[in-house]
Each structure stands twice: as C-alpha cells, then as structure tokens.
Amino acid sequence: MVTQNDSGRFPKGNSKVIASQSTFGFNFYNSYARLPASLFSFVNPEPVPAPQAVVINEQLAESLGLSAEALKTAAGIAILAGSENPPGGLALAQAYAGHQFGHFTMLGDGRAILLGEQITPSGQRYDLQLKGSGRTPYSRGGDGKATLGPMLREYIISEAMNGLRIPTTRSLSVVSTGEKIYRETALPGAVLARVAKSHLRVGTFQYAAGRGNDKELKLLADYTIERHYPEANRETNKYLAFFKAVIGSQASLISQWMLVGFIHGVMNTDNMTISGETIDYGPCAFMDVFDPTTVFSSIDHHGRYAYANQPKIAAWNLARFAETLLPLLDTDQEKARDMAESALKDFSAQYDEHFLHGMRRKLGITSAKDQDKILVRDLLRLMSEHKADYTNTFLDLTFQRFDQSELCRSADFVKWKVRWEERRNQDPGGVEQGQELMKTSNPAVIPRNHRVEEALRPAVQAGDYGPLRKLLQILENPFAHSVEQEEFATPPEPNAPPYRTFCGT
C-alpha cells in the first residue's frame, strides 16, 4: 500500500492514467490511494445474488466517457452492483469524522466504497462510488447494505438538484440486488452508483486533524487544493486561500438551497463537501408551504437543521473546518486563529449577497438597489403569514396569476405588488427582460414530497418503474414550464399528514 501522495500532480485528459481503457469506458486514476494509509481502507464491494438494473443515467454515463450500452449488459450491471470490480479501479472506503447534531464522532464509509476516479474525455475527474455495497471497517455493526426505496429517492432528488442547476453529487444508476434487507421489515436491496467531484468532506479533515499528525494533515490539504482549488497555490498563504475558497463555495451552495426551498435535513460536518457539492440525500425534502421553521427529519427534534438555520449551520461547520487548518495557517496558533476568524466573518456577507442576487432574479430584477432587501424580506413575511406555497408563489409572480392564491388576493400583497412593479419599471433591463429572467430562475416543478412517494411506492412494492421514469422526465428540465409539468406542480392536499424523512437510508 502506498502511504503518501508521491505524485503531487494530476494527469490532464487521458495521458498517463493508471487505468486502462475498456469496453465500458472506465478510465481510472486512483490518486486517493496515494494519501496516508490512515485515511482509507482497501475493501471490495460484496457480490450480490441477482443484480438487475432499475435505472441507468445514460446522459451522465456518456458525459463521463462511459458506454451506457455496455453498462446495461450483464457484465456492466455486475460492476454497478459491486459483484465485479471495474477495470483499473482500486476499491477503498474512506475514513472521516463528523459532528453529528453537534456531537463529534469518528466515522467513515460504513456502506459506501469508492471504485476509482474517472477521468472524462475532457480531462475532468469524478469519483465513482457504490452506496449499499456491503460492510467496511467503518460499518460499526451495520450490514453495509441499502434498500431500494432510499436509493431511488437519492437518485430522484440528486438528479432534480442537477436540473435545478445546484451543485450536487449525481446518480449514475440504481441496481436491485435480489436480496432482502432487514430494517423494520424485509425490503428489497439495492446499490446506488454515485458520482462526485470528490467525497472529501469537512469530516475528512476532522479525522486527519484528530489523529494529531500535521504531516498527514498537510498531505491531505495539498491533495485537496490540487484537486479542487489549484489557484490557491499562487497565493502567499495557500492554506488561507484554500479556506476562503471553501467558504465561498459553501456560501453560494447554501444560498441556492434556500432559493428553491430545499432542506438538507442532516447538515453534519461529514455531510459538507470541500468541493461545494450537495451530498447525502437521506432526510432531505423540499418545502411546500413557506415556513422558515420547517423540519422534515424525524430525529431533528429541536430544529437544528430547519430551513432558516441552514446558513448558520454552514458557518458553524466551516468554523470546525477552520479548526483543523490552524496548524497549516501559521506556526503561531493565535495568529492562525485570528486569520481563520477574520476569513469566516465573510461567510454571512457572501451568503447574503448570493441570496439577494438570486431573489432579484426570481423577482425579475436585473440591477441592484438597497431597497431590494426590504422588498424581498416583506414578500417572505407575507408568504409565511398566509402559508403560501413557496415554489408556486414565484410562479404566480412570473406568469402574473394574481388570483391563484389567498396570498395574492390579500390587501397586504396588493400593496407589496405596487412596490414590486414600481421597482421593475425602474429596472434598466425592462419588464420583458425581467420576465424572461423569472422564467429561468423560478422552476415549474420541484420534486414534491408527495410526488416522490407516489413514484417510489409502486417501484418498491410491485417493481413498477413507470411512475419513477415519468417523474424523472418531468424533473429533468424544471425550467421548461411545459404543459406536462403542470400537474406535478400541484401541492399536497391541505389535510395531508406532515411529511417525515428518516436518516440511515
């Protein structure tokens, strides 16, 4: 086993990669295995008895340089199920730690295995990981398996996030395994193939820092900078530049969650990526009625990860990240702490700027004025007071459907609407340009929780994947504003029971 990163550089395009080309198109370079051995364990996925492809993301496969047709064959499905290793891969489980609901724990990939890093035809690098592929040294008594419903749910939500143009891990496939996995009851087993810029997390750095080995921490940081933020190498203090870059990527990401009403549900530090991608779609959900206190996770009893708390939690997580980097920022730890705290103060301002910019777009405003923040604040307050549907309120504004909801018919909204129209009339972009901006900023559909469940139920209970495929098609381009999307924009019935999500999926 190689115990240090002895390359320091990454290949460009397909030159000098470790993996050989194959009929599947796998083109792996296994750089993570060159990091200190303490950060991972070599482990192979567990073979499954009867793998069957449920869904394969052909478009994603082709963009990765993979052959979708080859992946559909028995040999391809066996790889996606974990029964066979892909050519050139080097399977391993990553170690990491995490603050889970504020409590620190040493963790790791308990049921996920990294097959390798696919180098695309354009020279980009993506992790290919199997989720639900069996036990690892980090399973902590678990079986390392996954069930069909949650894996399909992650496929739906992650691909919907991609359609919404929000940085996210992607889903390449879901394969049923022919096993029965025992949770509360016996459920069909499945393996998800997940694609990510990397699976490096705040928790990865917490794990390295927790071992107290500054040399290992430096190797991890240098590796991450080279992989995700190489421009930091040009700065006098590259580790401070690295920290600032991660702050910027997270400020942008969280604002995009908030702009579409997405609630992650489990913003533990092991679920915050260094790359700025959304990861881990267990207890997440999209908000219907606008309520800043909305929580879906069944175990978030105190609302730690409620919708309105997400920016604060992101800042808290970044503070934990900063703690891991202190030995690298400066040999004088007081000075290092001051540097980190100063950088972290910028998060809120960056988040506010991203959020307000996104809200201006949602309201069809192309320029910036100080009054815009008040205009947005007042609209959100009215939406909350009238229990307005978050997504559909912005659609009503986009298409001027002012008789569609209780909110739009209220006297307070009418007054707000006058201010909004005055602001749009003052905008140098003009009303028509603003209208087009709204169409491309306000999605016609989101993965409504009740629609997701309607697609999952027949898939899990009867192997009927028709509703699943229909929903995926509807969500693929949420800004199409097509006739077919209209029925999927309908909120749940007012008397529907509260929606609950669960961890451990």
Catalytic residues: 270
Distance (Å, whole) CA 25 – CA 87: 9
Distance (Å, whole) CA 100 – CA 262: 20
CA 283-288-292 angle, to 5 degrees, is 80
Q: Using the 8-state DSSP alphabet, how is residue 96 labeled?
A: E
Helix (H, G, I), strand (E, B) or coil at 122: coil
Distance (Å, whole) CA 197 – CA 8: 18
Distance (Å, whole) CA 123 – CA 101: 38
Q: Which residue spans within 258-404 are E strands per DSSP?
A: 262-263, 285-286
Helix (H, G, I), strand (E, B) or coil at 300: coil
Nearest to 317 by CA among 204, 198, 217, 167: 204
Nearest to 162 by CA among 390, 420, 479: 479
Distance (Å, whole) CA 78 – CA 225: 34
Q: Using the 8-state DSSP alphabet, how is residue 491 labeled?
A: P
Nearest to 92 by CA among 22, 39, 169: 39
SS (H, E, C) 474-499: HHHCCCCCCHHHHHHHCCCCCCCCCC
